[in-house]
Chains A and B, each alone.
Chain A
Amino acid sequence: MEAVAVPPFERFYEEQQGPVLAHLRRMLGRDAADDAFQETFLRALRAYPTLRHGRHLQIARNVAVDALRRQRVTSAEVPDLESVDEPLPYEELRCITAGLPQKERAAVFLRYGYDLSYEDIGAALGSSPEAARQAASSGVRRLRRKELP
């Protein structure tokens, strides 16, 4: 027996499944997001009786970063954003960055499209945060020089 300091998991899950899936799809695209969805809620469930408010979104981010790290997105195979249900604020970025070297493209995309920290981007790309920062700023410089539309 334990005192209920948190709502029953069923209620938490019903409320948060939509936001979490949307969050994961923005980071990973549709297919990888489905796998990450289950892993996120299993981790949240393990920690649930002492889970702090809002902490599950951090868990979702960690799961997504782990997934990105496994995929080694250095190929700049950016997630298939067309499959996301919502309007795509990234579509423009996707076109603009198309000509960049792969690592720079991935760094720019993750920084400006997904708003990840350089720490997370470094983890996803298999490099240090500093290297991720350099790749992103080098990519941005390159875009400026080209004066793309």
Chain B
Amino acid sequence: MTVSTELDSRFREAAAAEGLLDVAYELHDTPVGRLLVAVTDHGLCEISYDADPEAEVERLARAFGSRVLRSPRPTDDARRQLDEYFSGKRREFDLEIDLRPAREFGRTVLEELARVPYGELTTYGTLAARAGRPRAARAVGTVMNRNPVPIVLPCHRVVGSTGSLVGYGGGLDRKRQLLEFEGALSKP
């Protein structure tokens, strides 16, 4: 039997409103593709590119608890801020971020990453130094690659010491696209 959209949405909303979810998520279309946006009680916990929702839901359940449900309302604020960013109206995100799964060094690096301003570039080495381990540029690369909330934590602004883009979890094309959009790279 098919459950009507209205009945389905009503339940998904009630589940979040009653505070019963470990994770609420929604899919959101942006100029860099469809993103999966997920939040917990502690804040934004995931943004992923090209997500296979089924696999992502499994991963979220392992990280934060089994009560994972697609429920748009709790993600509204994050999605609105993403829309504002992509329409050029927002340069800084004002969101709580749930970094509980990040380990000590990773968390320090991500906190430093959060301070890299809109439209500016930094390097893996600089970020390593700011996180207190100047020789850990490679480890910083790994942390960037596993950044749970790209765009909001701007790992696209981190490049190699020679200025090469190096890599990006969402693919180099997106890194280039975001940097051109912010005016940090000139368009070809």
What residues of chain A have their CB less than 8 Å away from a CB belonging to chain B? 1-2, 4-11, 13, 17-19, 21-22, 25, 34, 37-38, 41-42, 45-46, 48-49, 85-86
Contact = CB atoms under 8 A, between A and B. Distances in A.
B2 A11 contact: no
Contact of A38 (B7, B60, B65): B7
A9 B70 CA distance: 10
A21 B1 contact: yes
Contacts of A49: 65-67
A42 B1 contact: no
Contact of B11 (A1, A5, A41): A41
Given A8-B57, A10-B70, 5 more contacts: A1-B64, A9-B69, A18-B1, A42-B20, A49-B66
Nearest to A51: B66
B10 interface: yes
Contacts of B11: 13, 37-38, 41-42
29 contacts: A1-B63, A1-B100, A4-B61, A4-B62, A4-B66, A5-B66, A6-B66, A7-B61, A8-B58, A8-B60, A8-B66, A9-B21, A9-B61, A9-B69, A10-B68, A10-B69, A11-B54, A13-B11, A13-B69, A17-B3, A18-B2, A19-B1, A21-B7, A22-B1, A37-B3, A38-B14, A45-B69, A46-B20, A86-B1
B102 to A, nearest CB: 13
Interface in B12-62: 14-15, 18, 20-21, 54, 57-58, 60-62
Contacts of B104: none
A34 B7 contact: yes
A18 B3 contact: yes
Nearest to A38: B11
Given A42-B20, A46-B20, A11 B57 contact: yes
Contacts of A41: 11, 15
Nearest to B13: A38
A37 B65 contact: no
Contacts of B1: 18-19, 21-22, 25, 85-86
A11 B60 CA distance: 12
Contacts of B94: none
A5 to B, nearest CB: 8
A65 B61 CA distance: 32
A25 B2 CA distance: 12
A19 B1 CA distance: 7
A87 B94 CA distance: 54
B25 to A, nearest CB: 8
A87 to B, nearest CB: 13
Contacts of A22: 1
A100 to B, nearest CB: 30
A37 B7 contact: yes
A85 B4 CA distance: 13
A21 B1 CA distance: 7
Contacts of B21: 9, 45
Nearest to B59: A8
By CB atoms of chain B within 10 A, which of A9, A11, A41 has the most?
A9
